[in-house]
């Protein structure tokens, strides 16, 4: 079924994630959750009620040590379990890079496939809560750069459920980036307990003929609002859903049709996701581009604590709209 034809029960992103985790816990006894305050639902109550339903063997608190959490997850995954580790604020994934980059990402390669690594790491990122620099960053580019790891960042309830179930069932390590500002967004979600979205599959959320906007996380809703309000330009909106692997074919096919590309992502503009998408389009569809591509993102700065300054740097629908003006 196409994302354009999505049907099912109306859930928020938070409820969709909780439903996916509940279904996977019920279906597979090797799945378990761990993280700070996980028995109480975690920092944003995504796992609320699961401890009461499944008990401490399946849902457990950990000490405040992201390195120990991910390291324990790597060990558990190597022995055949399917841990889902919540590191809460993604900024602190920086101190997990030894177990994440050197162990989880490389173990299957170094052991010639003798072991699998069915590890899912939940990392909550993004600004908009005035939570200061160490709790507001968008760091998915860092993880997407590491060979051996997969990275996903859904923008819709449907994508959140389908991708979470796919990650838990995957035999490869995946970092699941959740934007804290879209937990309350609602939408239709298939009720099928075996519904998954393949890792590496983008969703065309709105078809258009004039401009392609590749947007991530909360900027997907901003891009869709621009597309609905513009009557002079027909805007196509693509949610990549997976950052690594990236569905280059769907993006290239869209640019071949529209000839114009905007990439909107909340991470810093330099050396990141924007550059990767643009490079792949240039490699595959250079002669389809009618005008230079446009990027919408965060300036190369930590996220300010000051609410007015945070508002100043965050990308918005207005910036996407201005980018459309520049290329039509």
Please identify every residue annotated as catalytic.
135
Q: With contact defined as beta carbons under 8 Å apart, do 193 and 27 qualify?
A: yes
Question: What is the mean predicted confidence (pLDDT) over 288-304?
Answer: 97
Mean pLDDT of 39-66: 95
Whether 117 and 209 have beta carbons less than 8 Å apart is answered as no
Q: Above 70 in pLDDT, residue 2?
A: no
- Kindly state the average pLDDT of the residues 74-78: 98
What angle, rounded to 10 degrees, do the helices at 248-258 and 273-285 form?
60
The answer to whether residue 74 scores a pLDDT higher than 90 is yes
Is 50 exceeded by the pLDDT of residue 101? yes
* Cα 119 from Cα 152, distance rounded (Å): 13
What was the pLDDT predicted at 129? 87
What's the mean per-residue pLDDT of the chain? 96
**CA-based end-to-end distance of the chain:** 32
Reported confidence tier of residue 320, pLDDT bands at 50, 70, 90: very high
Place of tokens 């995504």: 46
What are φ and ψ of residue 86, in 5° steps?
Answer: -100, 110
Instruction: Give the CA radius of gyration of the chain.
Output: 19
């Amino acid at each position: 079924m196409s994302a354009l034809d999505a049907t099912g029960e109306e859930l928020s992103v938070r409820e969709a994630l909780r439903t996916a985790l509940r279904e996977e816990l019920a279906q597979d006894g090797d799945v378990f959750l761990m993280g700070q305050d996980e028995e109480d639902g975690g920092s944003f109550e995504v796992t609320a009620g699961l401890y009461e339903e499944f008990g401490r063997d399946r849902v457990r608190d950990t000490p405040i040590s992201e390195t120990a959490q991910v390291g324990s997850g790597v060990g558990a995954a190597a022995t055949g379990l399917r841990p889902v580790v919540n590191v809460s604020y993604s900024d602190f994934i920086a101190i997990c890079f030894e177990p994440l980059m050197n162990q989880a990402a490389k173990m299957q390669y170094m052991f010639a496939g003798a072991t699998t690594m069915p590890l899912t790491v939940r990392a909550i990122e993004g600004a908009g809560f005035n939570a200061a620099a160490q709790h507001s960053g968008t760091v998915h580019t860092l993880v997407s750069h590491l060979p051996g790891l997969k990275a996903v960042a859904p923008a819709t309830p449907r994508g959140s459920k389908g991708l979470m179930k796919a990650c838990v069932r995957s035999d490869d390590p995946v970092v699941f980036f959740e934007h804290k500002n879209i937990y309350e967004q609602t939408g239709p979600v298939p009720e099928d307990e075996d519904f998954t979205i393949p890792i590496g599959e983008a969703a065309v959320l709105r078809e258009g003929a004039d401009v392609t906007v590749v947007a991530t996380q909360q900027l997907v809703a901003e891009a869709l609002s621009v597309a609905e309000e513009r009557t002079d330009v027909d805007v196509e909106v693509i949610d990549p859903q997976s950052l690594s692997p990236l569905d280059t074919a769907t993006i290239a096919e869209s640019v071949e049709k529209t000839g114009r590309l905007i990439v909107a992502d909340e991470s810093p503009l330099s050396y990141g996701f924007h550059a990767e998408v643009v490079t792949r389009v240039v490699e595959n569809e250079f002669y389809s581009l009618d005008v230079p591509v446009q990027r919408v993102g965060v300036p190369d700065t930590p996220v300010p604590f000051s609410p007015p300054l945070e508002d100043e740097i965050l990308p918005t629908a207005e910036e996407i709209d201005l980018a459309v003006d520049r290329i039509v």
